Amino acid sequence: MPEGIYEKFFLRDDSAQTLSRMQGDSLMRNVINHAETYKKALSQYETEIYIKGQSEILKQNFLMMFAHHLFPVNRKNKNLIFEMTSLSRFEAPSRYVHDIQAINGNDIPNTAKQHEVLTFLNLNVYAPTVYNEKIIMPVAKEAFRYYYFSLEETFEEEGLIIHKIRIMPRLWSQKLICGYLYVTDEDCRIDKIDLNGRSSFAEFNLEMTFNRDSRYFILPRHADLFLRYNVLGNAIVSNYHTSYNFKSIEWIDENYEKKPKRSLDLTGYYQISSDTIPIIRDELYWDEKRDIPLTFEDKLIYEQVPAVAGSKKDTTNKQKYLKLTEKMVNTINLDYKSTRMKYSGILNPFQLGYSGTNGITYRQQLRISKEFENDRLLRIKPEIGYVFKRKELFFKLEADFEYLPVRRGTISVSAGNANQSYSSKIMNDINEQLKDSIFNFKNLDLRYFKHYFVEVKNKIELFHGFEMMTSVSYHRRTPAFKSKLNAGPGVNNIINENYHDFIPAIGISYTPRQYYWMDGKRKEYLRSNYPTITVEFAHAIPGVFNCAGNYGRVEAGIHHSFNLGLTRKFNYHVSGGLFTGKKTTYFADFTYFTKRYFPESWGGDDFGGVFHQLGNEWFNASDRYAQLHVMYESPFMIMQRIKPQLTKHILTERFYFSQLWTPVLPSFTEVGYGFGNHIFNIAGFVGFDRWKYDGFGIRFAFELFQ
């Protein structure tokens, strides 16, 4: 397979004027109409799969130390060959289970390598999208918006009339593919596919031939997959040949009328069972499984034994240096029995982030987990981060114990520091001045109090989709420095006091029809077609540990993410809160409305759901707030109109809109646009203070190794 096949195919000049595009369109309309029936025709099947795989490192440099995080690669073996058999089962609508039966090779591939090929083979050729909605198929109802079709030739084979239809994307995009569909004339079935595209960091070509036996007519006979990775100056190619031997098949009963309600339990909808895989060296066993004998070159590679690291003396200490460098700049994963550790790496560049309001940020994270009987799990999660523009160090030590995993029962303890803020007494005094439109809030340096906290929290599922949270927290606020602000008589004494609060809280969260899956006895939520509603009540209690705070806090929110068709998503988040019963000094630190300094995930997006251009001081300027955030996500928005060729490097584009109301800031609006891929996310945001331009900022974060 030549290098750059996807680009070369895309740029190929279709000069065959005699071929009619109208014929191609007409044929594809029939294929698309039949696809709606064929994609739901199967109830379940079981098949034995034989796979022969080969991978070769063509080019590598010192950055290969990062490569194994990006794609399956064995750095100790430049030329890997293996064979594998799997007993695979499918259950409608999309449940695949692969039970690996045997494996052999010149080196045994890791789980990631096994997962690579099986992921590509989980292909329903009649589905509108494949590979977890990463690619739009040419049989989707909206396909004519994304593809050109032309009839290249018609031929007869084994008594069937086959049409060869060429597929060309209308624009550059990793969401689209190019290649050929071979379609039968009589019933518009897909007889063969020859498709080229991109997935993650791989350029791929997939040829799959389907059964002509009427019993298995929409199932594959064999497939050949070619993958080429070009990342960080490294080049790796993989080839896979696969054949299928179907054991059983069941079709959907055409006479049923009522569609059964889909179960919320998605356990095992894609699963590879690979515990204690037998390594079988018996040539007679593999000769029986192979549909194509090994070539002479295959046999030569089989005889090669990978070099053992450190087998040759390194007189230059180069290997020691590279290993030390890798440990410092790379994510480190260690497993020992039931204990796992993951460390971000002390000089890992992918822990960097940037935003206009915060400048450069850098974070270090350590994750330690220990499993116990009945799938109970202890996690220890210390982290530390530095915000260069503010010259502030943030730290947090958190530990949680999942004591009842089947009910998501978790108790956690956390301690750390949070945003510096100022008290309600200063806030009320300044709010009087804020009524004057000439008063410039941004000229005040109001970071008066450092905030330290300790919290104990318990969360448990009362019934499916409904969780209750209870917590108690202790907060200590101390003056950060002596203020130079002349805020009035008595205020200077106020800002030099220490404040202590003891705050119990209770909250609930409910998501109707929450899909989930079970990892042993551990229940994990996945998604829902309905919004999630959250409510939280908190009240400071005076007299506990000499705490003086006596006030209440109420917050509520609703958020949801849903699809708008092929690869398009819409997210929204609405929340509000207020302080009640304000009998003593308090600090307007909300849970759902707070400044964030490091990239965090919201609705599948690292930037949405927060204000990026809002000044730090406004987050603590009022005892009430209401906010709205929306995000629209699509792979095709602006870039295809500005520079279409750039879209081949972009997975998705996003549009943001956020609106805030507080008594002292009646309107703050933020709009933004961003795009990203597997390597990074970048977005620009414009802020409007009471509909007047308030500034522009960029936010950037790496996605690799996160």
State the number of CA atoms in the 13 A half-sphere of 601 facing the CB.
5
Range 325-702 has CATH code 2.40.160.50: yes
Over residues 85-117, the pLDDT tens digits come to 988 888 776 677 778 888 888 877 766 666 777
Over residues 295-341, the pLDDT tens digits come to 888 888 887 765 443 344 444 555 555 555 555 555 676 777 778 88
Instruction: Kindly state the percentage of the chain with pLDDT values over 90.
Output: 28
More confident residue, 481 or 18: 481
pLDDT-derived band at 200, boundaries 50, 70, 90:
confident
pLDDT-derived band at 260, boundaries 50, 70, 90:
low
Alpha-carbon distance 576 to 670, whole Å? 17
Task: Please give the torsion angle defined by the CA atoms of residues 228, 229, 235 and 240, in that order, rounded to the nearest 10 degrees.
Answer: -40
The helix/strand/coil state of 423 is strand
Over residues 628-641, the pLDDT tens digits come to 999 998 887 777 67
Q: How far is CA 165 from CA 152, 175, 181, 610, in A?
A: 6, 20, 5, 47
Residues forming a β-bridge with 196: 178, 205
Over residues 510-545, the pLDDT tens digits come to 999 998 888 778 898 888 889 999 999 999 999 888
Q: What was the pLDDT predicted at 236?
A: 86
Average pLDDT estimate for 276-283: 79
Average pLDDT estimate for 643-663: 82
Report the amino acid identity of residue 69: H
Residue 416 has pLDDT above 70, yes or no: yes
The DSSP H or E segment spanning 36 is helix 21-38
Alpha-carbon distance 194 to 454, whole Å? 59
In the chain, where are the structural domains located? 5-10+20-252+264-303, 325-702
Q: What was the pLDDT predicted at 254?
A: 54
pLDDT-derived band at 268, boundaries 50, 70, 90:
low
State the number of CA atoms in the 13 A half-sphere of 395 facing the CB.
7
pLDDT-derived band at 10, boundaries 50, 70, 90:
very low
Average pLDDT estimate for 36-60: 84
Over residues 128-184, the pLDDT tens digits come to 888 777 888 999 888 998 899 998 889 998 888 999 999 999 887 888 899 999 999
Mean pLDDT, the chain, whole residue set: 80
pTM, to two decimals: 0.77
More confident residue, 582 or 486: 582
Q: What was the pLDDT predicted at 508?
A: 96
Q: What was the pLDDT predicted at 310?
A: 39
Highest-pLDDT range among 191-205, 275-289, 431-445: 191-205
Alpha-carbon distance 299 to 193, whole Å? 29
Is cis: bond before 169, omega within 30 of 0? Answer: no
Strands (DSSP E) found in 511-651: 514-519, 522-528, 532-539, 552-563, 569-580, 624-634
Instruction: Kindly state the percentage of the chain with pLDDT values over 70.
Output: 78
Q: What was the pLDDT predicted at 273?
A: 54
Q: How many residues does this entry show for the chain?
A: 706
SS (H, E, C) 487-532: CCCCHHHHCCCCEEEEEEEEEEEECCCEEEEEECCEEEEEEECCCE
Question: Using a CB cutoff of 8 Å and minimum separation of 24, what contacts does 703-706 make?
Answer: 703/606, 703/676, 703/677, 703/678, 703/679, 704/66, 704/69, 704/70, 704/350, 704/678, 704/679, 704/680, 705/66, 705/69, 705/330, 705/331, 705/344, 705/348, 705/350, 706/350, 706/599
Q: Render the burial of 351-371: b for 16+ CB within 10 Å, e for the rest.
A: bebbbbbbeebbbbbeebbbb
Over residues 595-615, the pLDDT tens digits come to 777 766 554 555 567 898 888
